[in-house]
């Protein structure tokens, strides 16, 4: 294989007042705000318009429609599967370099001419601030494209030994069939990576994005087409999930599911696969990165201001709608007044509103269901805990929930164990002498094990936490907030109820999209069946 361009992490534009990047982004926001994108079902070259319309609105201006998508029914989902399968042999035969070039091109398109458009689509559709959209829809997505190419190339170097007289090799075949990529609303980079990682390995994909992310996903699909992705390799089936997954899971050609979303949905899909097991030509691979109840635990030796800043950023950026968001906090009594007062003062200075106004730090939560769920947790806090800041919400203009800080007396309170997926952070204050007991609490309180952070300046305490929390988080942070993993730097994923931990943005994930064939070639084959030690030759 020829050598590939070295991977690197995309730079992050800071959009300072007066900067060209800010002007380009503002212009793209204005343009997309005036348009209503029409999104069809994409089944190979065919674009199908079913007339069953899913309206996509801005979460922060909930009556403002930005896209109208044609929902894929059973017939159109089958058409998408058929279109993908039709191109599968040709795509599998396409040399790795050609496939890689498409994604390297896409990364450069995203870094350059498509940057503002994709970021604006993500800001408007998913209510991300300019910075949150930049680190997701631009930087993380470009990183996935470039680093996956690098990791695939590395993977192909893993070849068996060939003793004298033979040549052993592993052929990195794609899976036989299609990959069903079911993607979440909250990260456009993840929505793009779930179909694109298998596609780079020579697979074809049927993509079912979350409805609320459809505007961004549609622009990503158009960008990939411009980068040279052939028709049919990536098909698109808009919908809420059950209709499309019923068809996909019943197909004998289902080769894998690449999922990110809630634990409940992944279990539902897994059970669907189990129910259809006798239909399949091959055992489907199931890769799912799911929910979290991510923690910060501070030792009495920690810097309380660093702890508070990790809570403010890790808990409330993107309205707490990151699977990695800090959601349950354990603080020693000696540090609590400083930590509490600092977070309360941070929250008082965070502006909330329309993300097109660059001075806002907080946008809206994604939709009416999220709004109602998070309000329910605020109500629970009002009834059974102490609300230290926030606690309000309003759906007059958009789905706005005030960043909310809660203190509980019971460390096993539902607010300390259930995923809220919104801007509600709950704290438990422990006696300074109970560090070891607190680590046990952290480990045993929630079914999830995605991300977690420990803050301490005492290295013996850090070492104890490292061991006690080994299985409590797939991404473990020391003196840092538990969000913001970067591709190529912190491979991402958790275990327990947080998923299969196949580490997005690493070779471990890519391994799931190949079905290696071992080839042994003997240079001079034997021509006599008898072992050499048999002396009674005729």
Ligand X SMILES: N[C@@H](CCC=O)C(=O)O
Ligand Y SMILES: NC(=O)c1ccc[n+]([C@@H]2O[C@H](COP(=O)([O-])OP(=O)(O)OC[C@H]3O[C@@H](n4cnc5c(N)ncnc54)[C@H](O)[C@@H]3O)[C@@H](O)[C@H]2O)c1
Q: Could you say which of 44, 125, 174, 184 contacts ligand Y (CB under 6 A)?
A: 184
315 binds ligand X (CB under 6 A): no
Stretch touching ligand Y by CB under 6 A, among 17-25, 178-186, 274-282, 337-345: 178-186
492 binds ligand X (CB under 6 A): yes
Q: Could you say which of 133, 148, 186, 506 contacts ligand Y (CB under 6 A)?
A: 186
402 binds ligand X (CB under 6 A): no
Q: Could you say which of 186, 212, 243, 327 contacts ligand X (CB under 6 A)?
A: 186
Taking the complex as a whole, the smallest distance from the CB of residue 436 to ligand X amounts, in Å, to 28
Nearer to ligand X, 94 or 490 (CB): 490
In the chain, what's the furthest Cα-to-Cα distance?
A: 98
What are the residues whose beta carbons fall under 8 Å from the beta carbon of 495, sequence distance 6 or more?
449, 471, 474, 501
210 binds ligand Y (CB under 6 A): yes
- Distances in Å between the Cα of 230 and the Cα atoms of 70, 153, 193, 215, 447 are 22, 21, 17, 21, 42
- Annotated catalytic residue, options 317, 323, 418, 419: 323
Catalytic, 323? Answer yes
151 binds ligand X (CB under 6 A): no
251 binds ligand Y (CB under 6 A): no
268 binds ligand Y (CB under 6 A): yes
**Residue 485 near which of ligand Y, ligand X, none (CB within 5-8 Å, type-dependent):** ligand X
**Residue 483 near which of ligand Y, ligand X, none (CB within 5-8 Å, type-dependent):** ligand X
407 binds ligand Y (CB under 6 A): no
Q: Around Cβ 225, how many Cβ atoms within 10 Å?
A: 15
Token reading at 29: 């926001």
- Annotated catalytic residue, options 71, 134, 140, 289: 289
Q: Answer for the pair 381, 424: CB distance below 8 angstroms, yes or no.
A: yes
Stretch touching ligand X by CB under 6 A, among 175-183, 201-209, 319-327, 419-427: 319-327
**Residue 177 near which of ligand Y, ligand X, none (CB within 5-8 Å, type-dependent):** none
How many angstroms separate the CA atoms of 200 and 152, rounded?
8
For 287-312, the DSSP string reads: EEE----EEEEE-TTS-HHHHHHHHH
187 binds ligand X (CB under 6 A): yes
240 binds ligand Y (CB under 6 A): yes
Nearer to ligand Y, 69 or 461 (CB): 69
Q: Around Cβ 74, how many Cβ atoms within 10 Å?
A: 12
**Residue 501 near which of ligand X, ligand Y, none (CB within 5-8 Å, type-dependent):** none
Stretch touching ligand X by CB under 6 A, among 172-180, 374-382, 484-492, 529-537: 484-492
291 binds ligand Y (CB under 6 A): yes
Cα dihedral 192, 194, 197, 200 sign: negative
**Residue 185 near which of ligand X, ligand Y, none (CB within 5-8 Å, type-dependent):** ligand Y
Q: Could you say which of 25, 85, 181, 190 contacts ligand Y (CB under 6 A)?
A: 190
Q: Answer for the pair 440, 459: CB distance below 8 angstroms, yes or no.
A: no
Q: Answer for the pair 59, 186: CB distance below 8 angstroms, yes or no.
A: no
Nearer to ligand X, 71 or 289 (CB): 289
Q: Answer for the pair 216, 126: CB distance below 8 angstroms, yes or no.
A: yes
Nearer to ligand X, 324 or 378 (CB): 324
475 binds ligand Y (CB under 6 A): no
The CB-based long-range contact list for 129-133 (8 Å cut-off, 24+ gap) reads: 129/318, 129/355, 129/358, 129/360, 129/361, 129/362, 129/363, 130/15, 130/22, 130/25, 130/355, 130/358, 131/12, 131/14, 131/15, 132/317, 132/318, 133/188, 133/355
What are the residues whose beta carbons fall under 8 Å from the beta carbon of 264, sequence distance 6 or more?
none
Taking the complex as a whole, the smallest distance from the CB of residue 63 to ligand Y amounts, in Å, to 22
Q: What is the DSSP letter of 241?
A: S
Nearer to ligand X, 310 or 485 (CB): 485
Place of tokens 């990536």: 234
Q: Around Cβ 22, how many Cβ atoms within 10 Å?
A: 17
Catalytic, 289? Answer yes
Place of tokens 């993300």: 355
Q: Around Cβ 355, how many Cβ atoms within 10 Å?
A: 28
Contacting residues toward ligand Y, per CB under 6 A: 182-187, 190, 208-210, 240-242, 245, 260-262, 265, 268, 289-292, 323, 419, 421, 450, 492-493, 498-499
Contacting residues toward ligand X, per CB under 6 A: 140, 186-187, 322-324, 483-485, 492
Catalytic positions: 289, 323
């Amino acid at each position: 294989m020829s050598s590939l361009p070295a991977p690197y992490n995309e730079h992050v534009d800071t959009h300072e007042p007066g900067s060209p990047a800010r002007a380009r982004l503002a212009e793209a926001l204005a343009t997309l705000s005036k348009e209503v994108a029409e999104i069809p079902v994409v089944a190979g070259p065919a674009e199908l318009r079913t007339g069953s319309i899913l309206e996509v609105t801005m979460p922060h201006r909930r009556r403002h429609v930005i896209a109208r998508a044609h929902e894929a029914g059973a017939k159109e989902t089958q058409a998408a599967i058929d279109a993908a399968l039709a191109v599968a042999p040709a795509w599998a035969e396409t040399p790795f370099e050609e496939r890689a070039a498409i994604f390297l091109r896409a990364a450069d398109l995203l870094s350059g001419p498509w940057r503002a458009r994709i970021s604006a689509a993500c800001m408007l559709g998913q209510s991300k601030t300019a910075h949150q959209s930049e680190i997701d829809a631009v930087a993380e997505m470009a990183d996935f494209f470039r680093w996956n190419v690098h990791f695939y190339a590395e993977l192909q170097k893993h070849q068996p030994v060939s003793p004298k007289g033979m040549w052993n090799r592993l052929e990195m075949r794609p899976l036989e069939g299609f990959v069903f990529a079911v993607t979440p609303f909250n990260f456009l980079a993840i929505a793009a990576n779930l179909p694109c990682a298998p596609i780079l390995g020579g697979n074809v994909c049927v993509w079912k994005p979350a409805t609320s992310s459809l505007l961004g996903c549609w622009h990503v699909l158009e960008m990939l087409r411009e980068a040279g992705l052939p028709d049919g390799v990536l098909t698109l089936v808009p919908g809420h999930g059950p209709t499309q997954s019923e068809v996909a899971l019943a197909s004998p050609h289902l080769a894998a599911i690449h999922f990110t979303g809630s634990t409940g949905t992944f279990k539902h899909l897994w059970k669907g696969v189990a129910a259809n097991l006798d239909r399949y030509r091959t055992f489907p691979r199931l890769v799912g990165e799911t929910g979290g109840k991510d923690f910060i635990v501070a030792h009495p030796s920690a810097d309380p201001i660093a702890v508070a800043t990790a809570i403010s950023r890790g808990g409330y950026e993107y309205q707490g709608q990151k699977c990695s968001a800090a959601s349950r906090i354990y603080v020693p009594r000696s540090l609590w007044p400083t930590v509490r007062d600092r977070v309360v003062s941070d929250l008082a200075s965070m502006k909330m509103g329309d993300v097109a106004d660059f001075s806002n730090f907080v946008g809206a939560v994604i939709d009416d269901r999220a709004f109602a769920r998070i309000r329910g947790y605020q109500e629970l806090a009002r009834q059974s805990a102490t609300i230290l800041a926030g606690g309000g919400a309003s759906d007059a203009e958009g789905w706005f929930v005030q960043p909310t800080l809660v203190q509980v007396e019971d460390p096993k309170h539902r607010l300390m164990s259930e995923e809220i997926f919104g801007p509600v952070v709950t704290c438990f204050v422990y006696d300074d002498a109970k560090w070891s007991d607190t680590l046990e609490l952290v480990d045993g309180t929630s079914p999830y094990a995605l991300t977690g952070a420990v803050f301490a300046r005492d290295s013996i305490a850090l070492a104890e936490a490292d061991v006690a929390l080994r299985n409590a988080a797939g991404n473990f942070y020391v003196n840092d907030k538990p969000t913001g993993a970067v591709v190529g730097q912190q491979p991402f994923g958790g275990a327990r109820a947080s998923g299969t931990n196949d580490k997005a943005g690493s070779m471990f994930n890519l391994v799931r999209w190949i079905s290696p064939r071992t080839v042994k070639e003997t240079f001079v084959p034997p021509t006599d069946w008898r072992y050499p030690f048999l002396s009674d030759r005729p």
